[in-house]
Amino acid sequence: MAFQGTPPGERHETDVVIIGAGPIGLFSVFELGLLDLKAHLIDILDRPGGQCTELYPEKPIYDIPGLPIVTGQELTDRLMEQIAPFGATFHVGQMAAGLEKLPSGRWRVTSDAGTVIEAAAVVIAAGGGSFVPKKPPIQGIEAYEGTSVFYAVRKMESYRGKDIVIVGGGDSALDWVLNLQPIAKSMTLVHHRDGFRAAQHSVNQMKALVDAGKMAFHVASVAALHGEGGRLASVSLTSKEKGTFDVPCDVLLPFFGLTMKLGPVAEWGLNLAENLVPVDTEKFETSTPGIFAIGDINTYPGKLKLILSGFHEAALMSQAAFKIARPGEKLRFQYTTSSSNLQKKLGVA
Amino acid sequence: MNIVIKMPDGETREIEATIGWQVMEIIKNAGVPIRAECGGACACATCHVYVDAAWMDRLPPRKDEETDMLDMALSVEDNSRLSCQIVFEPELDGLTVTLAEDSL
């Protein structure tokens, strides 16, 4: 079931904007919530969890205190359950693109989908940066991106009647082969081996279509692109058995998964050190007051890239964010075990 | 004990290797900016290297998990490996690999 975020393109006011909905961004909601601070999260992925759900949803993690074994997906699910009482707002499938300081001293974060969020403080919990599609190193591919080369399918209907070439051997590649084949003029799957990292029933369906003459599958790689004005006409494939040969191609869809790029964070005027954001270890604040960085994206003497370190950083960041969002108010440090006030917030008292 | 790392641009570095470490960890520890995004869990294909011909038969073969994950690497060749899936042993002294473009 797809995760339901808040519709994009709207304007919001809150206490804290968290960039990145990985485990550290999620736990920040909890620590901020205990202090009555409301949070909005933005993530380029279409669901919470960050690397945990994108890279290793099924892999066990053994070093989360109190959870002897938990998978990336389970940890995300448990964190979502833990923060549910605080009603954070999720803006998913969007990249935090712009950051500016308002005359009031508050911050405005804008997403690439037109969402605007104003807040007292900003927390960068972006891990290794934004997940973006891996681009195959085919000469001249940039000239066709957005017109004939796409790394994701948005509107299926725009592929009707086209000569489609899909490259890759994972579930995304196989799923789109099966979804687009019925409406395509021709469908060609290109993969470097006759083996797939995809659901077996998808592979079987694809092979049945090949046997029925309804599509082609080549163990090959894309050697060259041919077309003009950003419009592809054909691609050259190369394989050990068949040498180099051309197939008609209006649309090329490469699916090689995602990789992480620091992205717009690099343009926000923060001090950076080798693509990491230096912070102090009292507040985990960046070189810009009011902007915090926690989790894998920050660096400080002794930093360990561990989820548990990020949880600690989230707790200290929240104390500092409170002082910015609630100037003049007294910060009462309480324990969830003993405070009926906190227990009310958690919905257990 | 050493391994030899060739960068895609041809620069070659000899780095000290530690027995029992993943080759990815050895490369990273030497300050070579290998991406290795998942941290050695065979979950991302960003520690992709090409093994020099002389060493191909001296490495333990790929496991299915590694072969599957290599589907997410770019420009995969017969000598492609994920360096997190090669554990350095004394008999690999002198192992020579070229970093793939998508690992940087």
User: How far is Cα B64 from Cα A193, in angstroms, rounded to an integer?
Assistant: 13
> How big is the A-B interface in CB pairs under 8 Å?
54
A118 and A20 assigned to the same domain: yes
CATH number, domain of A249, equals: 3.50.50.60
Domain B2-103, second-level architecture: Roll (3.10)
CA distances from A5 to A40, A91, A120 (A): 11, 5, 22
Give the nearest partner residue to A197 out of B35, B68, B74, using CB atoms.
B68
Does A5 fall in a domain?
A: no
Q: What is the DSSP string of B19-50?
A: TTSBHHHHHHHTT-----TTSSSSSS-TTEEE
- CB proximity A8 to B under 8 Å: no
In this predicted model, what pLDDT tens digit does every residue of B74-103 receive, in sequence order?
999 999 999 999 999 999 999 999 999 989
Tokens 């972006």, residue located: A126
pLDDT of res. A290: 97
pLDDT > 70? residue B38: yes
Domain containing A95: what range? 11-132+259-345
Q: What is the DSSP letter of A200?
A: H
> Are both A249 and A270 inside the same structural domain?
no
Q: Place A154 in a pLDDT band, splitting at 50, 70 and 90.
A: confident
Q: Give the range among A94-98, A240-244, A306-310 with minimum mean pLDDT.
A: A240-244
A254 within 8 A of A188, measured Cβ to Cβ: no
ipTM confidence: 0.86
* Mean pLDDT value of segment A276-299: 97
Is there a domain that residue A38 lies in?
yes
Query: Closest residue of A to B31, CA-based?
Result: A274
pLDDT of residue A179: 97
Minimum distance, in Å, between the CA of residue B48 and any CA atom of chain A:
13
For A212-347, where are the alpha helices, taking DSSP H only?
307-325, 340-345
Chain B residues in contact with A195 (beta carbon < 8 A): 67-68
Domain count, chain A: 2
A:243-262 residues touching chain B, CB 8 A cutoff: 256-257, 259-260
The verdict on A134 touching B (C-beta cutoff 8 Å) is yes
Question: What does the domain layout of chain B look like in residue ranges?
Answer: 2-103
Angle separating helix axes A171-180 and A200-211, nearest 10 degrees: 40
The sheet carrying A121-124 orders its strands as: A89-92, A39-43, A16-19, A121-124, A291-293
Residue A1: per-residue pLDDT: 63
Would you call A221 and B75 a contact, using CB atoms and an 8 Å cutoff? yes
Q: Average model confidence (pLDDT) for chain A? A: 96
What residues pair up with A87 in beta bridges, in sequence order? Answer: none
pLDDT in tens, A77-124: 999 999 999 999 999 999 999 999 999 999 999 999 999 999 999 999
Task: Tell me whether residues A197 and B35 touch, CB distance under 8 A.
Answer: no
State the pLDDT confidence band at A17, using cuts at 50, 70 and 90. Answer: very high
Specify the pLDDT at position A2: 82
Domain finish residue from A223, A256, A289: A256
Q: Are A148 and A252 in contact (CB under 8 A)?
A: yes
State the first-to-last Cα distance of chain B, in angstroms, to the nearest integer: 24
What are the chain A neighbours of B102 within 8 Å (beta carbons)?
Answer: 134, 137, 259
Sign, Cα dihedral of B42, B47, B53, B58: negative
Task: Using the 3D structure, point to which of A219, A236, A256 is the last residue of a domain.
Answer: A256
Q: How do residues A114-140 score in pLDDT, each as one tens digit?
A: 999 999 999 999 999 999 999 998 999
Query: CB distance A134–B71 less than 8 Å?
Result: no
A63 plus A158 within the same structural domain:
no
Lookup: tokens for A175: 């799923």
Chain A environment of B73 (Cβ under 8 Å) = 256
Nearest CA in chain B to A296: B37
Shortest CA gap A139–chain B (Å): 13
Residue at a domain's end among A256, A273, A288: A256
Asked if residue A125 and residue A15 are part of one domain, the reply reads: yes
Closest residue in B to A196 (Cα–Cα): B68
C-beta atoms of B41 and A168 within 8 A: no
Among A24, A29, A27, CA closest to A39: A29
Residue A282 pLDDT: 97
Instruction: Please report whether residue A44 resides in a domain.
Output: yes
Q: Kindly indicate the confidence band of residue A274, based on its pLDDT and cuts at 50, 70 and 90.
A: confident
Length of chain B: 104
Residues A244, A290, single domain; the answer is no
Residue A300 lies in a domain: yes
Chain segment A165-215, per-residue pLDDT in tens: 999 999 999 999 999 999 999 999 999 999 999 999 999 999 999 999 999
Locus of tokens 């000290």: B16
- Nearest-Cα distance to chain A for B91, in Å, is 30
Residues A249 and A271 in one domain: no
Taking residues A270-280, what's their average pLDDT?
94
On whether both A264 and A251 belong to a single domain, the answer is: no
Beginning with the edge strand found earlier in the chain, give each strand of the sheet holding B96-99 in spatial order.
B12-16, B2-6, B96-99, B48-51, B80-82
Question: Closest approach of chain A CAs to the CA of B79, in angstroms?
Answer: 13
Distance CA A21, CA A29 (A): 10
**Residue A4, φ and ψ in degrees, nearest 5:** -95, 110
- C-alpha to C-alpha distance for B34 and B13, rounded to whole angstroms: 13
Q: Do A168 and B45 touch (CB under 8 A)?
A: no
- Is the separation of the CB atoms in B98 and B32 below 8 Å? no
Residue A237: which H helix or E strand, with range? strand A231-239
Q: Say if residue A35's pLDDT is above 90.
A: yes
Interhelix angle for A72-83 vs A23-34, to 10°?
20
**Residues A65 and A155 both lie in one domain:** no
Residue to substitute from B29, B37, B38, B79, interface A, most A β-carbons within 10 A: B37
State how far the alpha carbon of A117 is from the alpha carbons of A39, A83, A326, B73, in Å. 10, 20, 18, 36
Contact call for B72 and A305, based on CB within 8 A = no
In a domain, A3, yes or no: no
**CA dist., res. A187 & res. A38, Å (int):** 48
Q: Are A305 and B39 in contact (CB < 8 Å)?
A: yes
